[in-house]
Structure 1
Amino acid sequence: MNRNAKVMTTRATATAAVAATTAFVMMGNVVSAAPVGPIDPVQATQGFLVMTEGNATLIGTENEGTLAVGGNLAFSQYQLATVSAGNFFAPGENNPTALVVDGQVDFPNSTPNTRLQVLQNGYAKIGNLNDTFVRDFDNNNVPANTRILPANDYDASPRIELVTNQSVPSVGPVSVIDFAEAFQTFRSNSTELATCQNTVALRDPNGDPISSPIPPGTNAVIDLTPNTTNVLNINSADLDNISILTFPDQPNASSPLLVNVDTTDVGDIFDWTAPNFAGIGGPEARFILFNFPTATALTLAPGGATVEGTIYAPSADFTDLDQSNTEGSIVARTLEHRGGEIHDYPFSTTLACDNGSPTASPTATPTASPTVDPTGTPTVTPSPTGTDLPITGSSSGSMLLTGSLAVLTGTALLLTIGLTHRRRRNAES
């Protein structure tokens, strides 16, 4: 083979080696390095504490805040707006709207002889009043607090009761929220937030790193960095195995916590037994968001502790079977509330990430160190494997870092080949 042919063979082989190395380490879901945010993930709720795209069923026991339902609403004995009627005011009205049902009230599937009370002088807005009666006077024709009824009888049940007099025409039929547009925004936000790289590590109470898979019953400590969005990327199995999540540092408006939960390991159907949240409560819950970007069904299983933070699952059917409470906003495709109370601690900040090098990701080690022998044929020398490092949840951030190292490794390989070729040419001349 002549000298030019050898050079062409060397370059072609080297290029193929670089491409193969890059393709190997870049396999999987690679996260974009584009910055994210700032995003207010609940802005499209227009201030409602709980919002669904589709139907909602309220069995127990109360929601301290407000509710906006994009589909139909069924209920049992339930109280709404026990603490706040919110800040959504329809044009020309002085009372806030605490309940929105864009579909209709599903009386046939509601529990007989029960009532849904809307407190704090909140109003209701109903999109479809078929087979529904609205009255603001009692059976003696005396003006009274407004009720939404299955029959033209002020004492009929199941019923929705207001504690104020709202004019019958203002109840509906009326549509005051574009739910389709809102949930398009929620899903876009959820997907974009899921690209944030991990920035925090989980450790045990002794300060030692916790590796994945996390054993059941783990007490995990999470350290937050001030004045930034802290990101924990974790799969559902690891999250479910944490029994205590301890916060030495409390999240706040400038130091929120975003938890991206990868549910693909359970087919996007996740039953979560919530851990005890140590060191924080409702006020801090306003700055924690649990993002479930791909979940299609999410259940709070019985026996869990109070969830401190917002449940953000815009593509999931959300079922709460836990008698403990949820302190935060809820955004879900549908809702079955059969557990404890929903406390009025809405998400109250913005989230952002620059997607630079993750601070707690495992250090990527090239799987091979290409060298070039005197004949111009690249050879491969195996490299040692890395050691265990703190868990950072999903591997998307480290995949991006590994890909960057592959490119650097390939560049070094090409430089080495070029230098070898130059030396040969000088020796021959």
Structure 2
Amino acid sequence: MTLSTLLTRRRALLPLTGVAALTAVALLASISSAQPRQALNPVAGTQGFLVMTEGDAKLLGAENEGTVAVGGNLSFDTYQVALRSAGSFVVPPDANPTALVVGGRVNVAGSIPGSRLQVLQNGYVKIGDLTGTVVRDTDNNGAAVNTRVLPTNDYEASPRIELVTRQPVPSVGPASPLDFATAFAGFRRTATDLATCEQNVVLRTANGDPLPRPVPPGSNAVVTLTPGVTNVLNLTATDLANIAVLTFADQPTADTPLLVNVDTGDVGDVFTWRAPNFAGIGGEQARYILLNFPTATRLTLTPDSATVEGTIYAPHAELVATTQSNIEGNVISQTLTHDGGEIHDFPFSTLLNCVQASPTGSPTTPTASPTSPTSGPTSPTSGPTTPPVSPTGPTGGPTFPPTYDPTRPPHPPLPVTGVAVWPLVGLGSAAAGTGIGLLLLARQRRREES
């Protein structure tokens, strides 16, 4: 090949080198801008506990059907834990699951004199600091009996925590098998991320008209869900407070969950909430509803609140639940005062995925006018047991980070991120390398010509 022929071909290649370089830059830019979001289980960090606080808890009335993990100190009145299930959080070599974890100590002075906190279903107890308490599994006559955590070395003393099984005294503590700080750091990140999810639910009146915003006081707000996607409803605290009845035209399911993001900034992040009547659903559907309060620092459920159907997700908040009705779902809060009603064992049981489209590829605004149910089911008083878990994480429910199959309908593929992106990076790098190499060759040929 003659030199003139080579130079002619080299000149023809020069535009292609620019295209290759620009293509590589564009590809790498698109990769870097992809958001690494995926379907997730927002309550996975609870390790299967129904109620979890980072700080102190006061359990004053009346009961919790599931398990409790308190990161700080615990004080109590007469109260029951694990009425329906002791869960499956087993700390080896224990024979039974742990139903109550106290990361700090039992606050005897702050508890009600003469009271008993009962741990049922043969559940065990773990206490991080036994200062001011005595653990016994023998009565005052030396006979073998069920284990108690007492304020003095008297088996009949109170206020006390009493088990319905004989847990070995050394296994009670001092021991705290949970990392509360890490769990709550994760909860707070998740709460913030979920708050950025785009709304795809339109509240309507009973006549099918869009509900005005701001929501008028005393409104009956009708929710119509889009099947097969995470339905997102974003409200201010004032809007939520103005809803008297939240009517479900469709019931949430595992593949059609509802995420309600509540922005409490309009009330200074201190929100007193009279929960509305959740019409058309009950405890089973509550498993698929997450009420996210990402910035609330204090959340109070008033005594006249209706039953809350869904998980209360408020990792920054002091939660004061004085409601005489029930909470059906997980409770995740910075601190907790539970004084009235029951917490029912309907833990959040699916994944949320905000990076998705509707099955038709169009916005998910409902087009049909829903009919308003005339009544909803009464709240169940019992529920299924908590999914099996272990100290290293849940094993019977969604994994975390979850595995996600983008080919499984109706969920569309998520953005390419993580290790899956490296083939694209390699392609972009190869294109960039080819372009740069050809540019260098052209520059060398110019030098030779001169």
Instruction: Tell me the TM-score range normalised by the shorter chain.
Output: 0.7 to 0.9
Residues 1:94 and 2:95 are matched in the alignment = yes
Residue of structure 2 in register with 1:190 after alignment: 191
Matches of 1:80 and 1:137, distance apart in 2? 22
Residue of structure 2 in register with 1:309 after alignment: 310
Residue of structure 2 in register with 1:378 after alignment: none
Residue of structure 2 in register with 1:344 after alignment: 345
CA deviations on 1:324-351 (whole Å, 9 max, x unpaired) are 0000000000000012100000000110
Residue of structure 1 in register with 2:298 after alignment: 297
Which residue identity lines up with residue 327 of structure 1 in the other structure?
A: E
Q: Give the SS at the match of 2:38.
A: strand
Q: How many Å apart are 1:55 and its aligned residue?
A: 0.1
Residue of structure 2 in register with 1:240 after alignment: 241
Q: How many Å apart are 1:213 and its aligned residue?
A: 1.1
- Contact persistence 1:35–1:355 (CA under 8 A): no
Matches of 1:58 and 1:36, distance apart in 2? 37
Residues 1:354 and 2:351 are matched in the alignment = no
Q: Give the SS at the match of 1:190.
A: helix
Residue of structure 2 in register with 1:320 after alignment: 321
Which residue identity lines up with residue 212 of structure 2 in the other structure?
A: S
Q: Give the SS at the match of 1:170.
A: helix
Residue of structure 2 in register with 1:134 after alignment: 135
Which residue identity lines up with residue 95 of structure 2 in the other structure?
A: N
- Give runs of ≥4 in structure 1 deviating > 2 Å: 32-37, 355-361
Q: How many Å apart are 1:37 and its aligned residue?
A: 2.7
- Contact persistence 1:285–1:347 (CA under 8 A): yes
Residue of structure 1 in register with 2:276 after alignment: 275
Residues 1:205 and 2:222 are matched in the alignment = no
- Contact persistence 2:89–2:99 (CA under 8 A): yes
TM-score by length of 2: 0.72
Residue of structure 2 in register with 1:250 after alignment: 251
Residue of structure 1 in register with 2:232 after alignment: 231
CA deviations on 1:100-152 (whole Å, 9 max, x unpaired) are 00000000010000100000000000000011100000011000000000000
Which residue identity lines up with residue 108 of structure 2 in the other structure?
A: F
Q: Percent identity?
A: 64
Residue of structure 2 in register with 1:20 after alignment: none
Matches of 1:221 and 1:232, distance apart in 2? 12
Matches of 1:287 and 1:34, distance apart in 2? 25
Which residue identity lines up with residue 312 of structure 2 in the other structure?
A: I
TM-score by length of 1: 0.75
CA deviations on 1:59-79 (whole Å, 9 max, x unpaired) are 110000000000000000100
Alignment of 1:260-271 (within 5 A): 260-271=261-272
CA deviations on 1:386-405 (whole Å, 9 max, x unpaired) are xxxxxxxxxxxxxxxxxxxx
Which residue identity lines up with residue 309 of structure 1 in the other structure?
A: G
Residue of structure 2 in register with 1:85 after alignment: 86
Residues 1:151 and 2:140 are matched in the alignment = no
CA deviations on 1:205-252 (whole Å, 9 max, x unpaired) are 110110111111110100001111000001010001111111111001
- Contact persistence 1:197–1:358 (CA under 8 A): no
Matches of 1:293 and 1:353, distance apart in 2? 16
Matches of 2:72 and 2:39, distance apart in 1? 30
Residue of structure 2 in register with 1:375 after alignment: none
Q: Give the SS at the match of 1:197.
A: coil
Matches of 2:321 and 2:354, distance apart in 1? 30
Residues 1:59 and 2:45 are matched in the alignment = no
Matches of 2:36 and 2:235, distance apart in 1? 20
Q: Give the SS at the match of 1:214.
A: coil
Q: How many Å apart are 1:39 and its aligned residue?
A: 1.2
Residue of structure 2 in register with 1:3 after alignment: none
Matches of 1:124 and 1:171, distance apart in 2? 6
CA deviations on 1:345-369 (whole Å, 9 max, x unpaired) are 00001101116686449xxxxxxxx
- Contact persistence 1:73–1:101 (CA under 8 A): yes
Residue of structure 2 in register with 1:218 after alignment: 219
In structure 2, do the counterparts of structure 1 residues 236 and 268 end up closer, same or farther at CA, with 3 Å as the change threshold?
A: same
Matches of 2:233 and 2:36, distance apart in 1? 16
Which residue identity lines up with residue 188 of structure 1 in the other structure?
A: R
Matches of 1:202 and 1:182, distance apart in 2? 33
Which residue identity lines up with residue 119 of structure 2 in the other structure?
A: V
Structure 1 gap ranges (5+): 1-31, 362-429
Matches of 1:280 and 1:351, distance apart in 2? 19
CA deviations on 1:155-209 (whole Å, 9 max, x unpaired) are 0000000000000000000120000000000001101111100001000111011
- Contact persistence 1:136–1:146 (CA under 8 A): yes
